[in-house]
Amino acid sequence: MKRINKILNILDMPMGTGKTTGIINYIKENKNKKYIFVSPYLKQPELFKSLKFNTPSDDITKLSSLESLINKNENIYITHTLFSMFDNRIINELQNKTYTLIIDESINLLTHIPISKDDINILIKSDYISIDNENKVKFKKYTGDFKQLKKMADNDSLYFINNLFIFKYRVEIFNLFESIFILTYLFRGSNMKAYFDMYDFEYRYYKVITDYKIVEGIYDDYNFRMQMKELINLYDGKLNDIGEDTYALSKKWFNARKRKAEHIKLKNNLYNYFRHIINSKSDENMYSVFSDFEHKYKGDRYSKGFVPCNCIATNEYRHKSTLAYALNIFINPNIVNMFSHYGSNINKDDYALCQLIQWIYRSRIRDNQPINLYLPSKRMRNILISYLEK
């Protein structure tokens, strides 16, 4: 399989700066090309509908429908999830095509599959799987509960490294496209960039200018950051004491035993912030803790405002004006070790910043409206302040 292009075209610009409109204009100006657009949205955005892209049907399996659309050389709109499921049928169809791939928002192309040690031991000791010299996993005769795991293995995407199961996207799929565009922001801190660094891809940066035209060049986000700084009322007071330690409010902190008193304190802090510091209406409030702990933090005035800490690409919360991001983001150590195994890495602070900015921009700040923000982790506050003031 011969690589067509080892250069990735990165449209690295903040939310609301015209990336989608710019790429739509690019498509309209290059109608002779064929496109596969990969989006986090299940439904096509309104702006996209004029392009008359085809979406795989539910009448048959999504992959079979996608295979048929590629065979017909149609322009296609798919989700991140379906993109992660590309198999040999899709690869075979794409080999003789000249599609341009457009990926909207970063995708995790290398991830840890959480499976208990006991289940891992059963799979290995029962001789259900084999592991080759490249750590790739193959299932033997197997009809048990791990059907999704087997699908990954059948698709040459499952690896076993350091006693962990790893999903790694097949890099040869990216070889099948005439060109590739990635629409994102803070690409440097993404799982996606660390993945492409493993394979020595080169990056060519683009930006959207007047009249929503895409041109080569690095976008200067200074004005965006200065505007963001003006719009955020960042809380500075005693409610931040709980996050003084570097690792306070991290996933490990949340999971630690004997944290009952701290959990109660943090929950009280959230209530005090929304009720007494800001006195905001419940419908305007938006907060996040790690999803496993959402049930413990539901409280008066904000319980309906939970938004996952890694939420992207939705306008559902654009009316929210008062925010509390009550956690401290670190890269999963297993993912760090996986990338290290392949000679790549992610900057932990850039990774945290990526998630935080995306989360903040689910709120009304995306419409240039001011917001209130409670960010109790000292580390996360310093990361945000450094970004805003650099």
CATH at 208: 3.40.50.300
- Check whether residue 263 and residue 341 sit in a common domain: yes
- Check whether residue 281 and residue 189 sit in a common domain: no
Residue 206: HSE in the Cβ half-sphere, 13 Å Cα cutoff? 21
Specify the amino acid at residue 146.
Answer: F
Residues 6+ apart with CB under 8 A from 334: 112, 162, 164
Residue found under tokens 């910043």: 353
Q: Tell the burial category of 343 from Cβ atoms under 10 Å away from its Cβ (0-12, 13-18, 19+).
A: exposed
- Check whether residue 273 and residue 326 sit in a common domain: yes
Strand, coil or helix: what is 288? Answer: strand
Q: Tell the burial category of 122 from Cβ atoms under 10 Å away from its Cβ (0-12, 13-18, 19+).
A: middle
- Check whether residue 98 and residue 17 sit in a common domain: yes
- 204 falls within a domain: yes
- Check whether residue 243 and residue 161 sit in a common domain: no
Strand, coil or helix: what is 102? Answer: strand
- The tally of domains found in the chain comes to 3
- Check whether residue 146 and residue 184 sit in a common domain: no
- Check whether residue 236 and residue 368 sit in a common domain: yes
Predicted TM-score (pTM) above 0.75: yes
Which of 124, 153, 168 is at the close of a domain? 168
Q: What is the pLDDT of residue 61?
A: 85
**Whole-number Cα distances in Å, 143 to 88, 117, 128, 148, 158:** 21, 20, 10, 11, 17
Strand, coil or helix: what is 166? Answer: strand
Contact 317, 363 (CB under 8 A): yes
Pick from 130, 376, 368, 178: nearest CA to 270: 376
Q: Tell the burial category of 101 from Cβ atoms under 10 Å away from its Cβ (0-12, 13-18, 19+).
A: buried
- Check whether residue 104 and residue 116 sit in a common domain: no
Q: What is the pLDDT of residue 1?
A: 47
**Whole-number Cα distances in Å, 284 to 255, 296, 302, 314:** 29, 21, 8, 16
- Check whether residue 281 and residue 358 sit in a common domain: yes
Please report, in tens digits, the pLDDT of each residue of the chain (390 residues total). 444 568 999 999 998 899 999 999 999 999 999 999 999 887 777 777 788 899 998 766 889 999 999 999 999 999 999 999 899 999 999 998 999 999 999 999 999 898 888 989 888 888 889 999 989 999 987 777 888 899 899 999 999 988 889 999 999 999 999 999 999 999 999 999 999 999 999 999 999 998 999 999 999 999 999 999 999 999 999 999 999 999 999 999 999 878 889 999 999 999 999 999 999 999 999 999 999 888 888 877 777 889 888 887 777 888 999 999 999 999 988 888 889 888 999 999 999 999 999 999 999 999 999 999 999 999 999 999 999 998
Q: What is the pLDDT of residue 59?
A: 60
- 41 falls within a domain: yes
- Check whether residue 248 and residue 284 sit in a common domain: yes
Q: What are phi and psi of 185, to 5 degrees?
A: -145, 140
- 87 falls within a domain: yes
Residues 31, 34: Cα–Cα separation, whole Å: 7
Q: What are phi and psi of 86, to 5 degrees?
A: -50, 130
**Whole-number Cα distances in Å, 224 to 14, 142, 154, 208, 363:** 8, 53, 45, 14, 16
DSSP, res 140: -
- Check whether residue 163 and residue 178 sit in a common domain: no
- 229 falls within a domain: yes
- 1 falls within a domain: no
Residues 97, 34: Cα–Cα separation, whole Å: 9
Q: Provide the domain limits for residue 353.
A: 223-389
- 2 falls within a domain: no
- 199 falls within a domain: yes
- 183 falls within a domain: yes
- Check whether residue 227 and residue 212 sit in a common domain: no
Which of 129, 153, 168 is at the close of a domain? 168
Q: What is the pLDDT of residue 4?
A: 54
